[in-house]
Homo-oligomer: A and B are copies of this chain.
Amino acid sequence: MAERATLDSVAAHARVSRQTVSNALNAPHLLHPDTLARVQSAIEATNYRPSRAARSLRTSRSQLIGVGLPAAGDGVNGYVLDRFLHGLTEASGSAGYHVLLFSAGGDEQEIEAYDDILATQSLDAFVLTSTHHGDRRTAWLAERDLPFVTFGRPWGTSAGHSWVDVDGAAGTHEATTNLIAAGHRRIAFIGWPDGSGVGDDRRSGWQSAMAAADLPTDGLLVQDQDGAESGRVAMASLLTASDPATAVVCASDSLALGVYDALRQVDGSPSSRAAVPIVGFDDTPVAAALGISSLAQPLVAAAQECVRLLLDLLEPGPDTADQPAHVLLAPRLVVRASGAGPMTSPTDRPAVHVGQPITNEEGETQ
């Protein structure tokens, strides 16, 4: 294996000076076409690639973007994070950047990591996930003029920075409207306790859709911590009500899984599953496996937007706005349940009442 090629070795090979080779890469318009061609073939021949360390030292830019991994189980679930990281890696890669991970057990610990990174000048920018009320990280970063973008709105605080987020309310609104169009009137929402920005947002979409159709929501809202067990309990209570729900929108796939389970408990026949349509959130493999409808976050697109906004900060062009930008993406409703049309109508199929294990063979009509 030959020695690593350097700027000098390439220059010698092409019979030009160091700087000319450098220009061939960074400012090709300065070179005479013939020279450029000669240098490029020399670069090719020696398989030259500029040393990241040297370039970084001189330019004080590392071409690295940091992402704090949220503590497991906190906020974003593994599947969502995984896909987001994928998108981020791809998008930043094609812009010449790489993604660096650092662990972030909590705000303070994460800030400590920022401090270290700032001092060692090892990162150009940050992407924050799992924004929440009273997030101290954004203020810390803003104070020091470090470029960053958050995936998630700055709940509570005013937005002094750029962010990208998925419009949860629009998603649940669409899902609910869809169910209403299919004839449902008693559509329940199972979500999280008030106070979590994301949860409140998702709930509000359901509320607005119900309000827009003049449908009452009394007895249709259940709020509990995330998890299948919560969904199970919630669904059980919704079914025993005097005027039970005929469809359910959930703030997460975990809750949806619980709901699915509760419905199976009432009636195990496969066809009746669709009788009470369920809509989850995040479109995880679980939803796909069980045939539950779900709202898919456009994670790759979100990641691309994050990178785009970061690049605006890192390499501002002439037409780059000075104001921080905000991007809100709509989730996509993935309709599954019984492979039929948008949502099953309750007029076609009787609503499930508890106590009587309805054996409904109806099957996949329509």
Contact = CB atoms under 8 A, between A and B. Distances in A.
A99 B98 contact: no
Contacts of A1: 144
A311 interface: no
B98 A101 contact: yes
Contacts of A49: 116, 119-120
Interface string A60-102: 1010100001001000011101110110011001000011111
Chain A interface residue number, banded: 35 or more
A261 B291 CA distance: 11
A264 interface: yes
Given A81-B82, A99-B101, A52 B121 contact: yes
B89 A78 contact: no
A289 interface: yes
A172 B5 CA distance: 51
Nearest to A270: B265
A88 to B, nearest CB: 8
A213 interface: no
A72 B86 contact: yes
B86 A82 contact: no
A102 B89 CA distance: 6
A12 interface: no
Contacts of A144: 1
A228 B290 contact: yes
B102 A100 contact: no
B62 A52 contact: yes
Contacts of A19: none
A265 B265 contact: no
A54 B57 CA distance: 6
Contacts of A254: 285, 289
A103 interface: yes
Nearest to A60: B53
Given A228-B290, A357-B268, A121 B53 contact: yes
B267 A268 contact: yes
A51 B120 contact: yes
A44 to B, nearest CB: 12
B100 A98 contact: yes
A50 B119 CA distance: 8
A238 to B, nearest CB: 17
A72 B78 contact: no
Contact of A289 (B60, B257, B266): B257
Contact of A83 (B56, B78, B83): B78
Contact of A57 (B53, B89, B258, B269): B53
Given A4-B121, A268-B264, A290-B228, A53 B56 contact: yes
Given A52-B56, A53-B53, 12 more contacts: A5-B119, A51-B121, A52-B121, A53-B57, A57-B57, A72-B86, A78-B285, A93-B103, A101-B101, A228-B289, A254-B285, A257-B286
Interface of A: 1, 4-5, 47-54, 56-57, 60, 62, 64, 69, 72, 77-79, 81-83, 85-86, 89-90, 93, 98-103, 116, 119-122, 144, 227-229, 254, 257-258, 261, 264-270, 285-286, 289-290, 357
23 contacts: A1-B144, A4-B121, A49-B120, A51-B57, A52-B56, A52-B62, A52-B121, A52-B122, A56-B56, A69-B85, A69-B86, A72-B86, A79-B79, A79-B82, A85-B101, A89-B103, A98-B100, A98-B102, A100-B100, A100-B101, A254-B289, A257-B289, A267-B268
